[in-house]
Amino acid sequence: MTSPQSATQGTAQIGVVGMAVMGSNLARNFASKGHTVAIYNRSPEKTRAVIQEHGHEGNFVPAETIEEFVASLERPRKAVIMVQAGAATDAVISQLVEAMDEGDIIIDGGNALFTDTIRREHEVAQTGRHFVGAGISGGEEGALHGPSIMPGGPAATWETLGPLLESISAKVDGEPCVTHIGPDGAGHFVKMVHNGIEYADMQVIGEAYHLLRYGAGLEPAAISAIFSEWNEGDLDSYLIEITAEVLRQVDARTGKPFIDVIVDAAGQKGTGRWTVKEALDLGVPTTGIGEAVFARALSSALAQREAAQRIGLPSGDLTTLAELGIDREQFVEDVRRALYASKLVAYAQGFDEINAGSQEYGWGIKPGDLARIWRGGCIIRAKFLNRITEAYERDPELPSLLLDPYFKGELANGLIDAWRRVVITATQLGLPVPVFASSLSYYDSLRAERLPAALIQGQRDFFGAHTYRRVDMEGTFHTAWSGDREELSY
């Protein structure tokens, strides 16, 4: 499968296929770091537009055919695909495989489902080319100025790709926000869970905002100032920072707070849903991410919500902070702590899913490395991630982040009591807090000595002879419920 161009030796250290926003920004990032970058787009106008607008920023080699593009690459050729996920990605992969030679490397930088990446890696490997599925986080700005990059694929490709990816990635304390995650689909799996964690992080921030607005009765500008203050402490993160910005914004058309003119129906592109589906398959309770995905779905169930407004649903007796005798400042601080605790649970669960996936697929992912490369470039970048890295450095086999001495100390040191108060108060005020509340239940379940699962086992044995184990002896048992209720052992 050697193309006529394969004998030629190009000068571009890297190539990017797909000149939509993410692809062109990534190409410009490579060029700005001194690399010669080959660029190609199915419709050549986009390639020409990049050259016209940004050609002066570095060394670009524009190509109008895939063969020309491949021929302009230095060996081993390295091409990053930044096209629409799904069929478009498959189409470009087969074109590249056709035009490339053995040893060349195809990198998919889109948001592919990791099982597609596993399949593609297998198919491409059979042709002697290499395939790397790389999660890239940070949106358009990240792609241009320094994303967090999560490459999977064969370890050998990292030797070639590592320096290139390090050069364009975000840096924190001088460390690049990229590392080889593991074989085949590991990079895209981790990117998927990263996005799931992002859903939960955004939802807990949303719940905190909602409580301050409709519980504490604060205006968006005042809440913006509170988020800015929170951004100075444990919650210091990109998402808290942009929350303060969004809440500060005033709508130019109406003069109203910008937040009040946005339809409250959250969209989703699918990575949160994938994270939850995979968590279900792996049997990992990522309740925070699950509730966050469902909260977006409920917000978008407009017909039901409108009917509920029209027909009305009884609220029961509701109260106010004043009636409850709760000091507003104390409530604001409690909400901060509840947000911190719920966020901690969501991250702990996300890392549980990554560990479970790593075990299931044999990836050998080092969770501490992930927290390190998420400190910069990506949407969930936060100071807090340093603590997660340290936790996994202290104990790489940590059974749950919640059991790390630092986080355990934080929980004991005022977080839990505040968290319980907030969930109780939210319930009394009639304000929804799906992730705050479910995370607290998860936490109480995790620390419980006994769970009602014993009763579920009893019920399962009763109606379906599903058997149970006993606390006081080895073996599997069944009680003859419909007969003499004698216990049988197996």
Binding of ligand ATR by 416 (CB under 6 A): no
- x/- map, 16-35, ligand ATR, by CB under 6 A: --xxxxx-------------
What's the min distance (Å) between Cβ of 475 and ligand ATR? 55
Of 33, 42, 305, 408, the one binding ligand ATR (CB under 6 A) is: 42
For ligand ATR, the binding residues in 314-333 under the rule CB under 6 A are none
Active site residue 198: yes
Question: Which lies closer to ligand ATR via its Cβ, residue 38 or residue 92?
Answer: 92
Of the candidate spans 15-23, 30-38, 223-231, 310-318, the one that interacts with ligand ATR by CB under 6 A turns out to be: 15-23
What's the min distance (Å) between Cβ of 439 and ligand ATR? 33
Amino acid identity of residue 299, one-letter, is: S
What's the min distance (Å) between Cβ of 21 and ligand ATR? 4
Alpha carbon distance 287, 342 (integer Å): 11
- DSSP track, 166-219: HHHS-EETTEESB----STTHHHHHHHHHHHHHHHHHHHHHHHHHHHHHTS---
| Number of residues near ligand ATR (by CB under 6 A) | 14
User: Helices H, strands E: what count in the chain?
Assistant: 21, 11
Burial-class residue 152 by CB neighbours within 10 Å (0-12, 13-18, 19+).
buried
Q: What are the two backbone dihedrals, phi and then psi, of residue 124, each rounded to the nearest 5 degrees?
A: -70, -40
Long-range contacts (CB closer than 8 Å, 24 or more residues apart) made by 56-62: 57/28, 57/31, 57/32, 58/28, 58/30, 58/31, 58/32, 58/34, 59/12, 59/31, 59/35, 60/27, 60/31, 60/36, 61/10, 61/11, 61/12, 61/36, 61/37, 62/38
Catalytic: which of 121, 191, 207, 410? 191
Of the candidate spans 13-21, 28-36, 67-75, 257-265, the one that interacts with ligand ATR by CB under 6 A turns out to be: 13-21
Active site residue 102: no
Alpha carbon distance 349, 92 (integer Å): 35
Of 29, 41, 72, 389, the one binding ligand ATR (CB under 6 A) is: 41
For ligand ATR, the binding residues in 73-112 under the rule CB under 6 A are 83-84, 88, 91-92
Question: Which lies closer to ligand ATR via its Cβ, residue 271 or residue 389?
Answer: 271
For ligand ATR, the binding residues in 457-476 under the rule CB under 6 A are none
Alpha carbon distance 19, 41 (integer Å): 5
Q: Are 380 and 350 in contact (CB under 8 A)?
A: no
Question: Which lies closer to ligand ATR via its Cβ, residue 92 or residue 411?
Answer: 92
What's the min distance (Å) between Cβ of 255 and ligand ATR? 33
> Which two three-digit tokens encode residue 173?
């304390």
Question: Which lies closer to ligand ATR via its Cβ, residue 48 or residue 210?
Answer: 48
Alpha carbon distance 89, 105 (integer Å): 15
What's the min distance (Å) between Cβ of 87 and ligand ATR? 6
SS3 (DSSP) at 365 = coil
Amino acid identity of residue 141, one-letter, is: E
Task: Look up tokens 């340093």; give the residue.
Answer: 386
Question: Which lies closer to ligand ATR via its Cβ, residue 22 or residue 132?
Answer: 22
What's the min distance (Å) between Cβ of 133 and ligand ATR? 15
Catalytic residues: 191, 198
**What is the contact surface with ligand ATR in residues (CB under 6 A)?**
18-22, 41-43, 46, 83-84, 88, 91-92
